[in-house]
Amino acid sequence: MTDLRNNVVPWDKVSETADRLRSEKRIVFTNGCFDLVHRGHLTYLSQARELGDFLWVGINSDVSVKRLKGEQRPVVSEDDRAILLSNLRFVDAVTIFPQDTPLELIRLVKPAIHVKGGDYSVEDLPETPLVRQFGGEVRILPFVPGNSTSLLIQKILKL
């Protein structure tokens, strides 16, 4: 039977895994809740992967999603979100993080490039100073209009 968690890197293995990979590959990192994966997410993740050799995705834990998005979220559990994302062909690793921001995870991964979607700006990201501190760069990818988890939830609730 196939292990669907193959590319899910547990917190205690992040540093060791990243250190090994960093010497061989250009790591691209991104993060988010990825509660209901939609076309906007897929477009964004595939574009992020094209920027380097290895795409590492940090996903907010269930507890942090609740803090950020409200008590009704997440719709999909952290384990299911991790398994789903880790099985996309353009995602190489996934790690669940409990904090509201990915700063601690970025500190461990030290990616060459940190990517966020077009609804952010480089200057406003709390991650920017940290990423630049170890020589990485921050890139903003275009937002795919009309695609959001909130819109999907509203649509489902109207059914």
Please report which confidence band the pLDDT of residue 1 belongs to, taking 50, 70 and 90 as the band edges.
very low
Question: Torsion over CA of 18, 130, 56 and 32, rounded to 10 degrees?
Answer: 150
Please report which confidence band the pLDDT of residue 59 belongs to, taking 50, 70 and 90 as the band edges.
very high
Is position 35 within any domain? yes
Is position 58 within any domain? yes
Q: Indicate which CATH number applies to the domain containing 107.
A: 3.40.50.620
Count of domains in the chain? 1
Is position 85 within any domain? yes
Q: Is the peptide bond prior to 74 cis by the omega test (within 30 degrees of 0)?
A: yes
Considering only residues 148 and 59, tell me which one the structure prediction assigns the higher pLDDT: 59
pTM of the model: 0.90
Query: Could you give the count of Cα atoms lying within 13 Å of 6 in the half-sphere of its Cβ?
Result: 9
* Calpha distance 148→139 (Å, rounded): 20
Is position 2 within any domain? no
- Could you list the residue range(s) of the whole structural domain that residue 43 is in? 11-157
